[in-house]
Chain A
Amino acid sequence: MGISILGVTLFPVLAALVLAVAGKLRKFLVPLSALIIAVSGLSLVTQQELPLAGTTALMIGIFIAELAVIIFLLYWGLKLKNLWIIIFNLAQLGIITYAKLTGGAVVGTGGDLLVLDPLAKVLILLITVIGPLICVFAVAYMDEYEKAKGLEKSKQGRFFFLLFFFLGGMSLLVTANHFSLVALGWEITTLCSFMLIGHNGDEQSVKNATTALIINSFGGLFLTLGAFLAEDILKVSTISQLVTADKGETVVMAALALLVVAGLTKAAQLPFQSWLLGAMVAPTPVSALLHSSTMVKAGVYLILRLAPGYQDTMLSNVLALVGGFTFLITSALAISQSNGKRILAYSTIANLGLIVMCAGVNTPLALGAAIFLIIFHAVSKALLFLCVGTIELKNGSKDIETMHGLVEKMPFVAVAAMIGMITMFLPPFGMVAGKLGAMEAAAKMPAVVVMVAFGSALTLVFWLRWAGSIMSTTKGLGEIKQEKTHLLISLPLVLLAGAGIVLSLLTDYIYQEAVIAVGSIASPFRQYMIGPIFGVLAVAMVAGMFFAAKAKRQKTTTPYMCGETYLIQQDTLAFVAAMDKPVAYKTSHYYLGHWFAEERLTTVSNIIAIGLIAAMIGVILP
């Protein structure tokens, strides 16, 4: 059993070290390491439990590792001359050293240093399957990326080192039960994400990486504080002990609240969203990794993990409001964007908000829905980011207005992106089962469910228009060319798209395996009739394709343009104007900027969100 846990935590770190210096061999070593990680992950989730007792030597080792990471972050704070980073990390350093000196080494009792419940298994699977897929994609992608950037000296060694190190840290974080291990995993992910966001090293990257580090250090401080309360005052050293502690005690609730706020920062909830929005300056695999299976999911993971601790408290109710509010506002903000990656980023934050809301609603159905959302969001979002990255490389832009007629130019990627989008917001796919479950669970809290209803309608807008843009033809008579895609790029896309569809069919199974421990017996998601709707969808697709194929032989006309159609060079449509001159037209989507102006809405909603979080901490006071 020990091997598979080492395979997902320690092996990625070793692989990272090798890959840092592997040079050309990376092309083979990355897929190989990816495979090993995936196999370890799969074998890990078949196990029942993961006993690991804490020895003094081990605890000291963990402590030293954590100190090292924090000191390294401190070094970066000094190097960037950023006061906030220095303050937050110094405070953390002070607290953990103080705790160590006064409380002695709080050694985990029994074999509960690690945890392997269904929630952890879900996260392990996502990290060890989707993460490596993204790394494989990165092999082919980074070559082209660096070519397009005109980089003289390849920085891929550093890049792959960080990617794999990141995966190791994430695996550690989601299997950790002891606070020291949680904190170590937490700081490693903070560190790696910071380094990856700043990968390009230009001014914008450094600036956004600094923002990410400030916010995540702030979250880290909250995590350390929460752990300190638990370890030093309550004398509990693991999460599983904390969540069973007496809810009536203010200190317990305070520890929980602090940890939840830490989770909110990592999950980029309002008002902490800016770091995730800035993160897209990095190469696409980084965004894909941060947004899908790692990093942000660590935040909601922690919140969900703590959910039994604050069940039926006011804290829980306010948390539902925080999540619902984030879902509503960021969905609205996504409408105001035409930058594809920014739309995806806002959509990620919105869906994390939905998951946080589920944690706040805190009923078995809600928690089940949250797990569904985590799984399906990870798959679809990874797919979408990889697609947008590929499109950006070839198209030169990630603006959705430039993606008209994409299906003519790159049919493969366009269809993959289409599957990614459809699985995000339409039934019968798992994401919607999760969303429906979330709404149903939240129905007893009208304030929350109203926000979710409006947010859900807002998400329709930006997905539909984007999907419409890529699946369109530019002159109506277009022929579809087959594009060449590198195998290492197309393989992850195919696998992710397939997973998005197949996993949706397996919702009953997923419910049994992944949710049942936190949920009830019969899958409530059955009433969403995923099977029958899939059947109908299949019939509709076949019928649609049949008629479309038949239509190929039918009369094809140019679009109606008041009789004044003009073809410029056979591929751009224009109207004929005075003197028989062509006048090209341009269509564009509505961005509703007068309602959803990004800057204003962000300012206002940040203030409200800060108020909500303050209220969340406030309600725990006796």
Chain B
Amino acid sequence: MMEVVLIILGTILLAPLAGGLLTGVDRIITARMQGRQGPPLLQPFYDLIKLWRKEAQITNTLQVFYAVIYLVFAVLSLVLFVLGQNLLLIIFVLTIGSGAMVLGALSTPSPYSQIGANREILQMLAYDPILLITAVALYLVTGSFKLSEVVAYQTASGQPLLFVLPLVFLTMTYVLTIKMRKSPFDISASHHAHQEIVRGITTEYSGPYLALLEIAHWFEVVLVLGLVAIFWANSWLMALILVGAVFLLELLLDNITARLTYRWMLQSTWVVGMGLAVLNIAYLYLA
């Protein structure tokens, strides 16, 4: 019991730290890829503290309510992940968080945040089934939806899931680009599209409330990378290397691609993603 409490506290404290640092690394590497020097490593924390200290300003009180819900459930999904709980449940809990963010953006009359929210819904439509199918694929190999048992299976068999489910892994990393808000799928919060939809889903949030969304996003980034690590869970070192490689790949993808339309996003994730995943599962059945 004590152990569980410690793990929960540790997650709540360390995850935003890791998320912030990752974002800092992200910004430096992105800058270097563009031939710039980039901000200091701790820049995301400066931003966060600044936002926190700014005057609170709202459009309506509903959006504040939803921001809190988003943060709490982003934290909860990561905590459930760290505790090795049921993967299907984690995906649905993640949905509560994202859903709350969408509701928060839809609650204001701002045209920009409404467009952002609708695009975010479509993003959820794109990544949600693929994540669920990933969970099913893990189940078909390991016989359990529980993450702790998925990890135990790999330790016992000594074979990382990456080798068994390479295509499923590929599909999953592809859709996780959406969750990490990276180009070509950065269409709802739009870090680089303010001519088009201002800041999309976060347009109407400012100051401390924006900081809440930012922290929640850091939790989600950590969870996303954790999902990657599941595929090589029998060795800490290899898991870290895999996570690092995927992270770098996402950054590269972010810098060399343009933002695409939602139609392209949905078609590519559904058709290609499902095709690859099904191919992999079919192969498992035949082998």
> A residues within 8 Å of B by Cβ?
404-405, 407, 426-427, 432, 436, 439-440, 443-444, 446, 449-450, 453-454, 456-458, 460-461, 464-465, 467-469, 471-478, 527-529, 533, 536, 539-541, 543-545, 547-549, 551-552, 554-561, 573, 585, 587, 589-590
> B residues within 8 Å of A by Cβ?
55-62, 64-69, 72-73, 76, 80, 85-86, 88-89, 92-93, 95-96, 99, 102-103, 105-115, 117-118, 121-122, 124-125, 128-129, 132-133, 136, 139-140, 145-146, 198, 203-204, 262, 270, 274, 278, 281-282, 285
21 CB contacts below 8 A, A to B, read A432-B92, A450-B133, A460-B121, A464-B99, A464-B103, A465-B102, A472-B109, A473-B108, A474-B109, A476-B59, A476-B60, A476-B108, A527-B89, A529-B85, A547-B64, A549-B61, A551-B61, A554-B55, A554-B56, A561-B110, A590-B122
Please state if A426 and B122 are interface contacts (CB–CB under 8 Å): no
Please state if B132 and A456 are interface contacts (CB–CB under 8 Å): yes
Please state if B68 and A547 are interface contacts (CB–CB under 8 Å): yes
Measured CB to CB, the nearest residue on chain B to A589 is B118
**CB proximity of A49 to chain B, nearest CB, Å:** 37
Please state if B96 and A555 are interface contacts (CB–CB under 8 Å): no
Most B CB within 10 A of own CB, among A464, A475, A555 = A464
Measured CB to CB, the nearest residue on chain A to B112 is A560
Please state if A544 and B64 are interface contacts (CB–CB under 8 Å): yes
A570 to B84, CA, bound (A): 52
Select which of A443, A446, A467, A540 is within 8 A of B69 by beta carbon: A540
Please state if B57 and A555 are interface contacts (CB–CB under 8 Å): yes
Give me 6 other A-B pairs in contact (C-beta within 8 A), A427-B93, A543-B72, A587-B114 excluded.
Answer: A427-B89, A467-B103, A473-B59, A540-B73, A543-B68, A556-B57
Query: Once A and B bind, how many residue pairs between them come within 8 Å at the CB atom?
Result: 196
Chain B interface mostly helix, strand, loop or mixed? helix
**Chain A residues near B105 (CB-CB < 8 A):** 468
Known: A548-B61, A559-B204. A457 touches B128 (CB 8 A): yes
Please state if B57 and A528 are interface contacts (CB–CB under 8 Å): no
**Chain A residues near B103 (CB-CB < 8 A):** 464, 467-468, 471
**Chain A residues near B73 (CB-CB < 8 A):** 536, 540
**Chain A residues near B117 (CB-CB < 8 A):** 465, 468
A268 to B59, CA, bound (A): 44
**CB proximity of B187 to chain A, nearest CB, Å:** 12
**CB proximity of A102 to chain B, nearest CB, Å:** 50
Please state if B108 and A426 are interface contacts (CB–CB under 8 Å): no
Please state if A457 and B125 are interface contacts (CB–CB under 8 Å): yes
Most B CB within 10 A of own CB, among A536, A543, A544, A549 = A544
Measured CB to CB, the nearest residue on chain B to A437 is B88
A549 to B65, CA, bound (A): 9
Please state if B58 and A471 are interface contacts (CB–CB under 8 Å): no
**CB proximity of A458 to chain B, nearest CB, Å:** 7
Please state if B59 and A558 are interface contacts (CB–CB under 8 Å): yes
Select which of B72, B80, B204, B262 is within 8 A of A539 by beta carbon: B72
**Chain A residues near B68 (CB-CB < 8 A):** 540, 543-544, 547-548
**Chain B residues near A556 (CB-CB < 8 A):** 57-60
Known: A443-B139, A560-B112, A560-B204. A456 touches B129 (CB 8 A): yes
**CB proximity of A378 to chain B, nearest CB, Å:** 21
Please state if A472 and B132 are interface contacts (CB–CB under 8 Å): no
A544 to B65, CA, bound (A): 4
**CB proximity of B179 to chain A, nearest CB, Å:** 14
**Chain A residues near B203 (CB-CB < 8 A):** 559-560
A543 to B212, CA, bound (A): 13
**Chain B residues near A469 (CB-CB < 8 A):** 106
Please state if B204 and A426 are interface contacts (CB–CB under 8 Å): no
Please state if B76 and A473 are interface contacts (CB–CB under 8 Å): no
Please state if B129 and A454 are interface contacts (CB–CB under 8 Å): yes
Please state if B86 and A528 are interface contacts (CB–CB under 8 Å): yes
A539 to B68, CA, bound (A): 10
**Chain A residues near B93 (CB-CB < 8 A):** 427, 533
Please state if A560 and B198 are interface contacts (CB–CB under 8 Å): yes
A536 to B70, CA, bound (A): 12
Please state if B128 and A456 are interface contacts (CB–CB under 8 Å): yes
Known: A436-B88, A440-B145, A587-B114. A552 touches B96 (CB 8 A): no
Please state if B88 and A440 are interface contacts (CB–CB under 8 Å): yes
Select which of B111, B125, B145 is within 8 A of A458 by beta carbon: B125
**CB proximity of B64 to chain A, nearest CB, Å:** 4
Select which of B61, B111, B115 is within 8 A of A552 by beta carbon: B61
Known: A454-B129, A547-B64. A585 touches B111 (CB 8 A): yes
A499 to B229, CA, bound (A): 41
Measured CB to CB, the nearest residue on chain B to A474 is B109
**Chain B residues near A404 (CB-CB < 8 A):** 109
**CB proximity of A597 to chain B, nearest CB, Å:** 15
**Chain B residues near A427 (CB-CB < 8 A):** 89, 92-93, 96
**Chain A residues near B198 (CB-CB < 8 A):** 560
Please state if A554 and B58 are interface contacts (CB–CB under 8 Å): yes
Please state if A439 and B64 are interface contacts (CB–CB under 8 Å): no
**CB proximity of B63 to chain A, nearest CB, Å:** 9
